[in-house]
């Protein structure tokens, strides 16, 4: 499974046909058939409610995005012409590509190509139809390592990955994704309907759409558990056990990936899932999938194809962004492989491409590098993707590594940030997080613009009503630091209760234990205190805060 990055809207409304039941085992080829035009279509941009939901139109209106001819459904007469060719089954329609995905043999495809409405066709897969994967109740991807997890307050093992990007402070400020719709594209979601930490989604009816673009229909609690792992990082909520980054958001779960083979048909699935998301009014797409090489005889991509214009999934991601959706894509896990660079659709323009770091803010060696072939900086941002905590279909928490997990963790924070700043466009959300990240002024093609933080981005947009740095962490027994990694500004200390109201001595120690900075801070009853670091070399440091015999320490990274 090369492209899984480990380490209720009516179908007819959406411009995507309900997929037929899966064909019997045998040789089944799928093709994308492109039409010449949309001439004669009964649909009109003046009546978009016939093919876009009210929520989709509202998203566009908020962002001043017009409905254009690109959004019009495929001309039904053209679809009928194709369907009437003997031996052809139409699987899906694509508004954006003005195309249909069909199943047929080579002879039938030649007959389709002869139709006057058809411009060209592209074969999406070859060879025998793979047998569907089982959907075990406790499947754990074999490339992930288990570990014993500690707990911290309500968040359990998810505490650190939320803290790094400010999601805990975001929740404490009252933003947990309420009212935001997130679509997760993946290979399956077994156990999501049974995991105790996911039950609030069902009790509050926040699973608002499910689509299986591999087998057809709406059954998604099956196939591979990678999607379960990813959605749990956003959506799970069980106090004292695990809390995701946007646990009160609403979700659309879409199976687009077939782990048994690797062909461009999966990119076509991604495309029609994105069109479904657009039509349904989704705000954010979280996709931990990527495409570089395919099984023979399908043509693989090269790095030159990672230019934001070639790959099917890349073009689809760009079009989704143009409809006002915030597309969040994993960068890929090829950083230490010969491929090395990001994959599709992570090379798309106007999306948020997410790389991976560890809990100390250091680049994960597997996290794919930029730039795109045409020279754009990638990834956009990074979040924790080393030893990230996620849930298995059994409900058990475990740790795994990959940009797969960095992506949904950050997508959830972006959802809460957009909820807190509802007048922003999707592109302004990306800009706000990027412009306040730790490497905002010195981005690179390893970490992009660095680590974003909810509070820093929120305060930049709302200077007259700033939020405290990390109030949720301040009530605990440990010292917490924000931002971490730190930049040129002051280091904010979230003080445990026993240090509040007392004069404090602060020492900064290097890795040898030598004191490189120290200062006194007057007594304060507030939960936070600021420390001026002065000039520190890049590296890892320990911040020691003491009052009398009480001493607390925390490690941070200076960048």
In the chain, the domains with their CATH numbers are 30-123 (no CATH), 153-460 (3.40.50.200), 471-558 (2.60.40.3080)
Euclidean distance between CA atoms 178 and 163, whole angstroms: 19
Would you place residue 472 in the very low, low, confident or very high pLDDT band (cuts 50, 70, 90)? very low
- List the catalytic residue out of 71, 172, 186, 305: 186
At 311 the three-state DSSP class reads coil
Mean pLDDT for 535-558 is 83
Q: At what angle do helices 265-280 and 312-322 cross, to 10 degrees?
A: 10
Q: Give residue 559's Cα distance to chain centre.
A: 25
- Residue 92's Cβ-side half-sphere holds a number of Cα atoms within 13 Å equal to 30
Nearest to 284 by CA among 140, 413, 104, 461: 413
pLDDT at 526: 67
pTM, 2 dp: 0.79
Confidence category of residue 5, pLDDT binned at 50, 70, 90: low
Q: Is residue 386 within a helix (H) or strand (E), and if so which, with residue range? A: none
What confidence tier does 473 reach under pLDDT thresholds 50, 70, 90?
Answer: very low
Is residue 252 part of the annotated active site? The answer reads no
Backbone angles phi, psi at 182, to 5 degrees: -120, 130
Tokens at 30, concatenated: 């799928």
Catalytic residue list contains 226: yes
For the stretch 385-430, pLDDT in tens is 999 999 999 999 999 999 999 999 999 999 999 999 999 999 999 9
Give the whole-angstrom CA distance, residue 353 versus residue 418. Answer: 17
Q: What is the dihedral of CA 523, 526, 532, 538, to 10 degrees?
A: 130
Q: Could you give the CA distance from residue 433 to residue 448 in angstroms, rounded to a whole number?
A: 12
* Helices H / strands E in the chain, number of each: 13, 22
* 394, 404, 471, 517: the active-site residue: 404
Residue 524 is predicted with a pLDDT of 77
Query: What was the pLDDT predicted at 184?
Result: 98
Q: Is 540 a catalytic residue?
A: no
CA neighbor of 400 nearest in space, from 186, 213, 170, 233: 233
Phi, psi of 546 (to 5 degrees): -135, 150
Q: Which of 272, 225, 159 is nearest to 404 (CA)?
A: 225
Q: Which of 224, 226, 252, 363 is catalytic?
A: 226
Q: By three-state DSSP, how is residue 299 classified?
A: coil
Contact 282, 181 (CB under 8 A): yes
The pLDDT of 33-51, averaged and rounded, is: 95
């Amino acid at each position: 499974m090369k492209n899984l990055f480990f380490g209720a809207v009516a179908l007819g409304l959406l411009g995507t046909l309900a997929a037929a039941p899966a064909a019997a085992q045998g040789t089944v080829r799928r093709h994308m058939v492109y039409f010449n035009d949309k001439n004669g279509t009964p649909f009109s941009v003046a009546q978009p409610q016939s093919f876009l939901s009210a929520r989709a139109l509202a998203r566009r209106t908020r962002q001043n995005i017009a409905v254009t001819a690109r959004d019009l459904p495929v001309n039904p007469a053209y679809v009928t012409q194709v369907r009437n060719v003997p031996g052809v089954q139409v699987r899906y329609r694509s508004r954006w590509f003005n195309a249909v995905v069909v199943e047929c043999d080579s002879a039938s495809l030649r007959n389709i190509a002869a139709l006057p409405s058809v411009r060209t066709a592209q074969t999406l897969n070859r060879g025998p139809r793979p047998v569907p994967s089982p959907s075990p109740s406790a499947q754990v991807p074999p490339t992930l390592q288990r570990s014993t997890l500690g707990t911290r307050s309500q968040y359990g093992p998810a505490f650190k990955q939320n803290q790094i990007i400010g999601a805990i402070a975001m929740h404490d400020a009252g933003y947990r994704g309420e009212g935001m719709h997130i679509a997760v594209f993946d290979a399956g979601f077994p156990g999501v309907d049974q995991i105790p930490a996911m039950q609030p989604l069902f009790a509050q009816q926040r699973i608002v759409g499910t689509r299986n673009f591999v087998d057809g229909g709406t059954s998604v609690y099956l196939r591979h558990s990678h999607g379960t792992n990813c959605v749990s990082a956003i959506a799970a909520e069980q106090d004292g056990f695990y809390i995701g980054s946007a646990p009160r958001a609403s979700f659309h779960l879409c199976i687009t990936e077939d782990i048994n083979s690797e062909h461009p048909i999966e990119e076509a699935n991604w495309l029609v899932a994105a069109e479904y998301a657009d039509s349904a009014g989704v705000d954010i797409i979280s996709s931990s999938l990527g495409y570089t090489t395919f099984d023979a005889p399908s043509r693989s991509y090269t790095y030159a194809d990672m230019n934001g214009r070639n790959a099917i999934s890349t073009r689809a991601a760009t079009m989704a962004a143009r409809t006002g959706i915030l597309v969040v894509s994993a960068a890929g896990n090829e950083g230490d492989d010969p491929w090395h660079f990001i994959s599709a659709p992570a090379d798309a323009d106007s999306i948020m491409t997410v790389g991976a770091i560890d809990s100390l803010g250091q680049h994960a060696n597997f996290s794919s590098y930029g730039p795109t072939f045409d020279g754009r900086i990638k990834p956009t941002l990074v979040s924790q993707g080393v030893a990230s905590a996620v849930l298995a279909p059994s409900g058990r928490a475990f740790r795994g590594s990959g940009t797969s997990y960095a992506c949904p963790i950050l997508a959830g924070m972006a959802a809460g940030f957009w909820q807190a700043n509802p007048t922003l466009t999707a592109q302004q959300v990306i800009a706000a997080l990027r412009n306040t990240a730790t490497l905002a002024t010195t981005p690179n093609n390893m970490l992009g613009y660095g680590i974003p933080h909810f509070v820093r981005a929120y305060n930049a947009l709302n200077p007259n009503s700033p939020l405290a740095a990390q109030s949720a962490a301040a009530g605990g027994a440990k010292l917490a630091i924000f931002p971490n990694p730190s930049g040129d500004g002051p280091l904010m200390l979230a003080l445990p209760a026993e240090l509040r109201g007392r004069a404090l001595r602060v020492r900064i120690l290097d890795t040898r234990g030598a004191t490189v900075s120290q200062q006194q801070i007057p007594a304060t009853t507030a939960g936070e205190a600021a420390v001026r670091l002065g000039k520190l070399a890049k590296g890892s440091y320990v911040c020691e805060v003491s009052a009398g015999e009480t001493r607390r320490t925390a490690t941070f990274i200076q960048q």
